[in-house]
Copies of this chain bind each other. A is one copy, B any other.
Amino acid sequence: MDINEQVLKIGADAKAASRELAKLSTRKKNSILEAMADELDAQRIFIQEENAKDLVAGREAGLTNAMLDRLELTDDRIDSMIKGLRDVAVLTDPVGEQISTWNRPNGLEIHKRRVPIGVIGIIFESRPNVTCDAAALCFKTSNAVILRGGKEAIHSNLAIASAMQKGGETKGMPANCIQLIPTIDREAVKVMCQMVGYLDLIIPRGGESLIRAVMQMAHVPVIKHYTGVCHTYIDASANLSMGWKIAENAKCQRPGVCNAMETLLVHRDVAAEFLPKMGEILTEQKVEMRGDAATCALIPSAIAATEEDWSTEYVDLILSIKVVDGVEAAIQHINTYGSGHSDAIISEDEKATVQFLNEVDAATVYVNASTRFTDGAEFGMGAEIGVSTDKLHARGPMGLEELTTYKYVVEGKGQIRE
């Protein structure tokens, strides 16, 4: 079989698996998730042997230490995958929920019912634990999953996926519910992206170039988990102590993630009071500051920002800072340069707050809180497959519910259309 045929067969098998999966009860699915956890535990040594192959190859290929670290499956990380599976088992199953029900004058009874999407493709990069986390969420929502990981983790990913499938089968999981593309050939991604009829959704998780490539190739629906160019705006009415604390948290608590702040906007009327101390705090935290002229005048250690800075996701200890004339200008800046992920206003003024919350076009908008809360667990979703920066189907943190769709079930007594 060539790659095209090989991937299409995986697609057809997944579609068939999705039909069987849709018939499983919640209790059965939960026992399967537990069995997967048991099997991961039982295959711990094999998984680590396979992981070692990836680590050797990675060192030979000259991966950085940071990349090798992300790749490594330590005992702790395997424990954490196992715990993740057991946690997903106890989450409420959204499948089958009656979203709404109504009657029509002709007597038809219409039920809008939550159902699985079908077959979901996950295309991701380095961390092998994504194999386990993503497959567990797709399985819990009765979706078949086709995983495509990075080439540097191929042995680890295959070991994890096959342990999950094997463990699940001991408790009656249908064949092919969890499949991993076994080749590292990039052509496989293209075939996946265009597998209309077999694949109902692709979720790419990774860097900008991966997501762009998927978006360009895809003929099946894609929900992008894109960059987070997140803003915090300090309004003239802000409680400045709160502003310093929240801005520091949004930038520094974990700078390498998509909900970290990348740009700080400050109202002109409070800039002279707010920025010097903010500069001290950020200097203490070793944050490089890139500001407009007004900022650089107030923070001597800041360097001049370029136009490109305003739309850059640093995911690092770097921050761009701009002084603005008010909430209107802040909204304008965010809607021009932001990525629609998470943006916050720090304000005690209701009018400015309402305007900001209404007019900033982002998945999540905050008043007086850190953007770092945009996260499935922080939102109380129990688990997340990622954070959507798209507007269709799912926006913001995607939990179990966002991995489902609905169907209409209509009950009649012989009604015909006149």
Contact = CB atoms under 8 A, between A and B. Distances in A.
A249 B359 contact: no
A219 B413 CA distance: 44
B392 A201 contact: yes
B417 A249 contact: yes
A117 B395 CA distance: 11
Nearest to A355: B23
A61 interface: no
Contacts of A370: 412, 415-417
Nearest to A18: B361
A393 interface: yes
B219 A221 contact: no
Interface stretch (A132-140, A179-187, A285-293, A400-408): A400-408
A364 B408 contact: yes
Contacts of A216: 219
Nearest to A414: B242
A412 B366 contact: yes
Chain A contact surface mostly? mixed
Interface residues of A, number: 67
Contacts of A390: 221
Nearest to A196: B215
Q: Which of A118, A245, A368 has the most CB of B within 10 A?
A: A368
B102 A380 contact: yes
Given A373-B108, A380-B104, A358 B412 contact: no
18 contacts: A23-B358, A108-B369, A242-B414, A246-B414, A253-B416, A254-B417, A363-B408, A365-B407, A365-B408, A365-B409, A365-B410, A368-B415, A370-B415, A372-B417, A392-B405, A395-B405, A395-B406, A395-B408
